[in-house]
Amino acid sequence: QVHLVQSGAEVKKPGASVKVSCKASGYTFNTDGINWVRQAPGQGLEWMGFISTKKDTIRYAQKFQGRVTMTKDTSISTAYMELRSLRSDDTAVYYCARDGKGFDYWGQGTLVTVSS
């Protein structure tokens, strides 16, 4: 059974960085890419970017270019998303999602709170 398990909630100060992990199990990690999606309080879903697990392809949403880095460690079937220069409006639940036929499996979400 496919599972994506994310790291725990984080509280960060403005200007800091956060790195969220997403560990995959139940399938071959290097067959489907991983997307990162966030939802701020009272807002809709927002795509942040995609990282291929079998090639070197990474694609970021324009909004996050220069501030986000997505990486992977195929040896432990884990993807990472680091967001830098955090602002209060980065407070959100961050999800990883497998890029199968659509975003077919999702992590449980990681709440990142940015507050001074």
Partner 1 sequence: QSVLTQPPSASGTPGQRVTISCSGSDSNIGTNYVYWYQHLPGTAPKLLIYRDDQRPSGVPDRFSGSKSGTSASLAISGLRSEDEADYYCAGWDDSLSGFYVFGTGTKVTVL
- Positions in the binding site for partner 1 (CB under 8 A): 35, 37, 39, 44-47, 50, 59, 61-62, 95, 97, 101-104, 106-109
* Cβ 116 to partner 1 shortest distance, Å: 26
Nearer to partner 1, 42 or 75 (CB): 42
Nearer to partner 1, 18 or 33 (CB): 33
Residue 75: CB atoms within 10 A of its CB come to 7
Q: Which amino acid is at 46?
A: E
Say whether 63 sits in a helix, a strand or coil: helix
* Cβ 1 to partner 1 shortest distance, Å: 12
Residue 58: its H or E element? strand 58-60
Nearer to partner 1, 29 or 64 (CB): 64
Burial of 26 (0-12, 13-18, 19+ CB in 10 A): exposed
Distance CA 52, CA 32 (A): 7
Nearer to partner 1, 1 or 75 (CB): 1
* Cβ 4 to partner 1 shortest distance, Å: 9
Distance CA 9, CA 42 (A): 18
* Cβ 44 to partner 1 shortest distance, Å: 4
